[in-house]
A and B are shown apart, each in its own frame.
Chain A
Amino acid sequence: MSTARVEHTNAATGLSPHPERATMEGRNKIIGFWLFLGAETVMFACFFGVYLALRNSSLDGPTTQELYHIPMVAVSTLILLFSSLTSVLGVVGMQQHNYKKTMFWFGVTVLLGASFLALEIYEFFVYVGEGHTFTSSAFGSAFYTLLGTHGAHVLFGVCWITGLLFQARKRGLTQEMAPKFFVASLYWHFIDVVWVFIFTVVYLMGKVG
């Protein structure tokens, strides 16, 4: 911790107010990542389309109304929305060149992401118990593909940000680390936005029919 502190103070003198855009590499990374998110949006849109086309094909299994437990999903939603906020606080900390603040808020983001995942796994576990599985019907396949892809993204984000925290512990908040954190927070917002759509299109619309 103490060495990291020393590195941080050294680095802080050389950092600009927007360290993530200070280098050409950083600017490239940010625009490249926005483009990547554009592609991801299209992929998720396709999975949403497939889900909407197949959500009423539940055969003998439970229908959307019977299946979804809104209170539990609402808790997951709150957790994920809150984690988006904490990742913003992390980026703010980075722009203030505040090593401790950055590490703390990104750490909280990781923990919230992990608890979201735990809740989602528990939810799937319950659904499987009620006869709603990946292979039970077209509805099941479409549901788990859409939510599973989102969940895999959350898992990847958790691993990614954890990796970044380890890097920052070694290297401090350098000009090289800044775009990495910034891009990771973009990614985190993206999976949050996708979840907002999942909550609306899958759960809420599933409840009303």
Chain B
Amino acid sequence: MATIVVLVVFALFLGAILTGGYNKELNNRLRSHWLWDWITTTDHKKIAVLYLLGGTFFFVIGGIEALLMRTQLLFPNNDFIVGREFNELLSMHGTNMIFFVAMPLLFALMNAVIPLQIGARDVAFPFLNALGFWLFFFGALLMNLSLLFGNSPDSGWTNYVPIASNVYSAGTGIDYYVLGVQISGFGTLMGGLNFIATIINMRTPGMSFLRMPLFTWTSFVSSALILFGFPPLTAGLFLVMFERIFGANFFDVAAGGNPVIWQHLFWIFGHPEVYIVILPAFGIMSEVISTFAKKRLFGYNSMVFATLLIGFLGFMVWAHHMFTVGMGPVANSIFAIATMAIAVPTGIKVFNWLFTMWGGKIRFTTAMLYAVGFIPTFVMGGVTGVMLASPPGDYQYHDSYFVVAHFHYVLIGGTVFGILAGCYYWWPKMFGYKLNEKLGKWSFWIFFIGFHLTFFIQHFLGFFGMPRRVFTYQPEDGVTMINQISTVGAYMQALGVILIVVNVIYSYRHRTPAGSDPWDGRTLEWTIPSPPPVYNFAQLPKVRALDAFWHEKMQGNKQMEPAEPLGPIHMPNNNHLPFLMSLGMFVSGLGFVFRSWEVGALGLAFFFLVMFLRSFEKDHGYHIETDEIQRIEKGANA
């Protein structure tokens, strides 16, 4: 097996080198292919589509894993998928959904929207943006290859040692997790860094910090959390990798190690991570609710303040995942109080959304349905969160289905509803046509009801004593009916997701141009054609107030006032090096998974070699001339 993989890897390698310019004919054929354009793109709008496709692909895989688990739990003592296979399913489901679904789908929306909302022509580092995507993709691919090769990671998405050590998880399983998440984590870090630099440096004239749309704000704070939250994961994953592959002794008690170190490092990352995935969703909801209530967001400044406060407190609460480890009453109390304190800024946000809708002229589009459905759902997830924040309570709920219900309420009811609302809302901007509203509403109701059917009842399942991550139960436990209801709900959710996919295909077939401003929008992205031209803004707009476009509309202007004369626009070149660098990492990861040091070192060497090539490259970009811009603008407005 390992030899075949090494051979395949070498073939890939040679292919990569060949495309570097040794075979001219092949090279030319490749460069004129449409796929080459996507592989080499540095355009934030195209990278957004790539993230969207990648995230959706892994969403399907993660969803199938969930359905398989729920099917196993349909009957007591079922033997459909048991033991190690069930552990692999739950580990892959959690890891896929957090790292390879929630993150990339949010990155898709952030890439598509942030530059447009702040009036920028691209992100600060287009090359880095492409590199971030390809690292994410190859990392995710590496981990999911374990499904094909067998022996997947099986110690949960939290990968606790010593379960994840060589002693209790022999074979390659955990190595896929460690290397896959590590590689995609590098990509995520670069993405976060890029958004911070973009938002600080690339805002259009007049776009002060307190005039930024709330989605940009929450993405900004979320990126800061990525920047400081992912390095502990990097460090922790290195430790596990060194222990598993090079025989280090960080967690082995017999050699003087301490397994709690991993728990700390993981949760110092892991808790900010849940705010990383929820904050952008908060931002999307703020945009959607404000637009479809036709009102300025209530308490904008307090929303910004609450976002910052959540981001800050998000780093102070990691140990509430470890109440039962035995840190003692003082540590537990401090972390409990800090955790409960987060309910305050979150409550501020919830009331601001409600007050925004109060007295507004509400249109119940599909995006708005998700936003309205999100509020009670997320509040329920928040309330169970406060329950879990109390250490004596947590000793009862810990590792039961109550916890499963809690985090699915915040992750699906918060993040997934947010992503779906954002997709329906910004789809016309990204692709130029709307998604069908009728199908959208059907899929919303099916998904919404299916979601509550699946997870509401799991709160009680937890109270009745069913622990999470077990593959079966006994008939006399009295939980058969509850599990069956939950499984029916899971299939309803799957139906809802299938309807969404059907909707995308249907809407594409029956597409009509949506125009630049289909929702009567308030922010800068609605001032430019849909989909936007490659340079976004022919002339950078001058921002005069919060909700810049709405302000101009109220002043009787149809367009933004330009902040600069029309002139040639500088754009970044396409580049194939991000793909090659990520391929090097992927090869290296495969090498280390199969304990082949040569391949591992070769991949890394290739990565750094391409990095130095990039440093020596003279990449000045190109200019779009004024008459070309005028031609494109005319075409878009016709």
Chain A contact residues, CB within 8 Å of chain B? 24, 27-28, 31-32, 35-36, 38-40, 42-43, 46-47, 49-50, 53-54, 57-59, 134-135, 137-142, 145, 159-160, 163-164, 166-167, 176, 180
Expressed in whole angstroms, the Cα–Cα distance for A164 and B612 within the complex equals 10
Closest approach, in angstroms, between the C-beta of A133 and any C-beta of chain B?
A: 10
A2 to chain B, nearest CB (A): 22
Q: List 20 A-B contacts (CB under 8 A).
A: A28-B201, A32-B124, A35-B227, A39-B231, A40-B231, A42-B228, A43-B231, A49-B264, A53-B261, A57-B255, A57-B256, A58-B256, A137-B249, A138-B255, A139-B256, A141-B250, A163-B612, A166-B616, A167-B615, A167-B616
- Determine if B239 is an interface residue (Cβ-Cβ < 8 Å): yes
Interface residues of B (CB under 8 A from A): 124-125, 128, 189, 193-194, 196-197, 200-202, 227-228, 230-232, 234-236, 238-239, 242-243, 246-250, 252, 255-258, 261, 264-265, 268, 612, 615-616, 618
Partner of A138, one of B227, B236, B258, B615: B258
Given contacts A28-B125, A140-B249, list 5 more A-B pairs with CB under 8 A. Answer: A31-B124, A39-B231, A145-B242, A160-B615, A167-B615
User: What's the Cα separation between A167 and B613 when bound, in Å?
Assistant: 11
Q: Are B232 and A59 in contact (CB under 8 A)?
A: no
Instruction: Select one of B189, B201, B227, B235 contacting A46, CB under 8 A.
Output: B235
The A contact surface, by secondary structure, is helix
Q: Is the interface of B mostly helix, strand, loop or mixed?
A: helix
Closest-CB distance, B314 to chain A (whole angstroms): 14
The 10 closest A-B pairs by CB, nearest first: A57-B256, A138-B256, A46-B235, A141-B248, A43-B231, A42-B231, A138-B257, A28-B124, A32-B197, A135-B247
* Pairwise interchain contact B256-A59, C-beta atoms closer than 8 A: yes
Q: Which residues of A contact B261 (CB under 8 A)?
A: 49-50, 53-54
Known contacts A38-B227, A58-B256; is-contact A138 B197 (Cβ 8 Å): no
A57 proximity list for chain B (CB < 8 A): 255-257
A163 to chain B, nearest CB (A): 6
Contact A39 to B257, CB < 8 A, known contacts A134-B248, A137-B249, A163-B612: no
CB B463 to nearest CB in A, in angstroms, measures: 37
Measured CA separation A103–B243 after assembly (Å): 42
B248 to chain A minimum Cβ distance, whole angstroms, is 4
CA distance A164 to B231 in the complex (A): 27
Bound-complex Cα distance A49 to B247 (A):
20
- Whether the pair A54, B258 counts as a contact (CB closer than 8 A) is yes
When distances are taken between beta carbons in the complex, the residues of chain A under 8 Å from B124 are 28, 31-32
How many angstroms from the CA of A141 to the CA of B194 in the assembled complex? 33
For residue A139, which residues in chain B have a CB less than 8 angstroms away from its CB?
256
A27 and B258 contact, CB distance less than 8 A: no
Complex-state Cα separation, A164 to B615, whole angstroms: 8
Q: Is the CB of B197 within 8 A of A31?
A: yes
Q: Is the CB of A50 within 8 A of B616?
A: no
